[in-house]
Structure 1
């Protein structure tokens, strides 16, 4: 059977089941079981696929997913995330557009607490947008900064999505977590430059208002009490990986322990909060692992049937240069993000894209970072980016989707600029990785 027909027989039913509303994990399960039975020799093919998938799921490389989920749940349920907002509020003072800058600062800090961008949108949107509107901020400066900065949860460790990407693409998790740091900070800087420029050129989008002055002593105390401990948690995850003191799995565990200890030290961790955090993180982790299991089996199905190699040969034979094809892949991810969630996009495209990138001789870590930025960009892209609807859910009553779309556009431009910068200068990804102590 020709490779393209095999690919069509595998991809077609998968996409159809997803369009019909079947959960992603079950759509993969159905296609994997039926496909392996029909294309890999009946029950022997199914058994081999199950054995390979079980072996992949029992790998310690997947443990960080659960640990990062615990970190995020404990942080949000214990109220530590709100402490960060209060501290930022003291530090920004009377700065014009201070609430918009708080959204970006909060997005960066919350990224170190959880890899869940939708959770960041929900928290920032529900806490900052009403205050912004009360102060006379216009829609572009109330909704946009939150949509843009919340996506940084994908780009700044700990990022559960980066761990999933590393597992599916078979990339070193520790190196990938270090590789995404600079691109994530570049995105935050681009957002800040835009907000500063917009507030300078159009002061009416973010009117200034009187704020009671905060003594420097109070600012320093708040920073030491609420921000400095977050730095310790970041070191417990990222620092120990960078210095070669721990594997990503060990670093994730140390980060989870540090988070629980911090919540205890602040007397914010009751037994009920601890139990609810564990159960919620376990539920989300199981859901993610089910999808990962389906993706691993799907990757093997494509490989065993020869569809991956046939497609790779076809792509390599296209009359375009290598970088143009890679750029087309990245833009495809953005386009898919307008209609699908991050995990389905990742599971469907990575098994096809990564072998092609490696065959071209490019660093797969560089492509992985571009892929994650594209995922974040797609999730905030009209008409159906998931982040847009989360924002609609938490925005004040009467907020129109058209206003959300317009507010998102400038930050989408910033995202595309970030893609261009990383695409042209791969050193942004490779330099920090090269400094790691292995």
Structure 2
């Protein structure tokens, strides 16, 4: 028996390594595909603007390529641990109760196999039809390309993701075997090690049993929708992959509402193939690529040094400089996590070395990094625009004043803390001096930053670029800057490409799942009924918005920003529209409220990024959360101002 167990563990390790190598190779090819799309879009821009000879079929190629890339990346996203989930429960169990964690994960991974198997099943007939009937996309006489290679990528990627989930099942079984095997007590005796965590397994089993009982109950449409929402939150909190949970419960909800499993299968196949088959979705990988390249180019470091040099004489000057540098960095990346990682390495050591309180330094970095998701170009605003079917350019314009207001409130708040509560800010009274900087060197460091801002935001606001084209042009310009500064090696570039693919795949899989979830909610009639409920209760738009914002902030304590939006917006957007709210304004207050969750315990993703980035092991998560508290208060104040003064978000409308 022991020999069989050893062989199983060895075989599992070998299988996992083989599948990881396979998925990594496929993912690498998809990452190169993203880079090729960037080149194609830039070639179209040059050809259109300089040669009056645009590249034909760019929009169609990008739209279809995004679908193929996501599914080719999905398996490696899972194998790399980048498929979005919350670690609140499962993370603690993995450390203290690995046996129970493995049992619970086993259920989640079987669900993943089921989801991608159904996608493959629904895609196969489409692949056969595309091959037999020689289907194409594009316009005859201008540009055409066969559809079947895209369908083949979707089908093969789904099967590969099933295989990746199967390897996770093997790892779970291996963990279970390891914690339930016999161990020698003496030379002649053995003892069976008692697995720990049975109460968690029993509670989880009860949850699944209740869910199965609900499936067998004759419920109304609204009851089915409510049950799906409740079980979704419970399963996500338990640690299931969020995209898988959304798809499974939406699938079951549509099945029960329509009383037809084939309708649910067709809905899932349609979501997988059509939810992200749009040119606009090219902005996701392209802006992620630009943000990661900007990080490699040390642009954040340059922005901070110039701001620190200019503000060193002001009370709390280095803290204000961190806010200013974050605002500049945000205007060319749109990713708050990148800001947190960069300025944890750059600003915290500089502030501590100049006598700043360490908690304050950490709080400033974590707090001001949220500007990355508000100041355009913002990845969250892009996602909101897609979900709400609103113009991304209009959202970027709407975010200018709120972004500037939030940065100003941060700066004023830091100055007031330094003036009236100096012990919160400084731990010594030593003078601050930033040496070696002149106006000439400062201008040289700001030049590439200004260039990227003009290319990305100037191109969008002038109407010269679409958001997707701005992402491609910005990524190409960032690569040129990094090469000119000699910070971009081949190894770094490959790492950036791989990370771009993994981040993009995780986000776009969530959008696919959200489209399925949105369809289920529409069929359940919950949004319509809730709109009527709020109208009859007399709470109105602002009453609903306050309740919604409170829910967003609470969910931010356990979920990441994208997941919160994908879960709540399909339910909330019809209600806001029904109550007469402006969806552009609603997007701005949503993004700020979502970002508050990045700073609040226990999840606080930005806080965890800062903790993982800094080198000091003596710094605790509690230290960082304490440091971010003033910024949570300031963000809450700005959120309330924007909620009751919608005109601030509509200045440039």
TM-score scaled by length of structure 2: 0.63
CA RMSD, aligned part only? 2.1
Aligned to 2:252: 34
1:244 correspondence with 2:433: no
How far apart are residue 213 of structure 1 and its match?
6.7
Native 8 Å contact 2:373 2:595 kept in 1: yes
Q: Equivalent of 1:344, from 557, 563, 567?
A: 563
Native 8 Å contact 2:296 2:482 kept in 1: no
Native 8 Å contact 1:107 1:153 kept in 2: yes
Native 8 Å contact 1:97 1:208 kept in 2: no
Unaligned runs of at least 5 residues, structure 1 = none
How far apart are residue 308 of structure 1 and its match?
2.7
Q: Equivalent of 2:592, from 361, 373, 381?
A: 373
Alignment CA distance shift 1:93-1:48 (3 Å) = closer
1:165 correspondence with 2:399: no
1:189 correspondence with 2:402: no
Q: Equivalent of 1:310, from 529, 539, 560?
A: 529
Aligned to 1:112, the other structure's residue is in SS state: helix
Number of residues paired by the alignment? 431
Aligned to 1:399: 619
Aligned to 1:15: 233
1:275 correspondence with 2:494: yes
How far apart are residue 139 of structure 1 and its match?
4.0
Native 8 Å contact 1:71 1:256 kept in 2: yes
Aligned to 1:294: 513
Q: Return the alpha-carbon distance in structure 1 between the equivalents of residues 493 and 610 of structure 2.
A: 28
Q: Return the alpha-carbon distance in structure 2 between the equivalents of residues 13 and 430 of structure 1.
A: 37
Alignment CA distance shift 1:254-1:148 (3 Å) = same
Q: Return the alpha-carbon distance in structure 1 between the equivalents of residues 335 and 290 of structure 2.
A: 11
Q: Equivalent of 1:219, from 435, 438, 448?
A: 438
Higher relative contact order (CA 8 A, sep 6+): 1
Aligned to 2:480: 261
TM-score scaled by length of structure 1: 0.92
Native 8 Å contact 1:49 1:300 kept in 2: no
Q: Return the alpha-carbon distance in structure 2 between the equivalents of residues 400 and 20 of structure 1.
A: 25
Aligned to 1:136, the other structure's residue is in SS state: coil
Larger Rg: 2
Stretch of structure 1 that moved more, 368-377 or 330-339: 330-339
Native 8 Å contact 1:36 1:46 kept in 2: no
Alignment CA distance shift 1:4-1:362 (3 Å) = same
Q: Return the alpha-carbon distance in structure 2 between the equivalents of residues 80 and 410 of structure 1.
A: 27
Aligned to 1:428: 648
Alignment CA distance shift 1:213-1:267 (3 Å) = closer
Stretch of structure 1 that moved more, 349-358 or 240-249: 240-249
How far apart are residue 214 of structure 1 and its match?
5.3
Native 8 Å contact 2:327 2:371 kept in 1: yes
Native 8 Å contact 1:3 1:310 kept in 2: no
Native 8 Å contact 2:253 2:520 kept in 1: yes
Aligned to 1:102, the other structure's residue is in SS state: helix
Q: Equivalent of 1:285, from 490, 496, 504?
A: 504
Unaligned runs of at least 5 residues, structure 2 = 1-218
Aligned to 1:114: 333
Native 8 Å contact 1:165 1:368 kept in 2: yes
Stretch of structure 1 that moved more, 286-295 or 199-208: 199-208
Native 8 Å contact 1:380 1:386 kept in 2: yes
How far apart are residue 53 of structure 1 and its match?
4.7
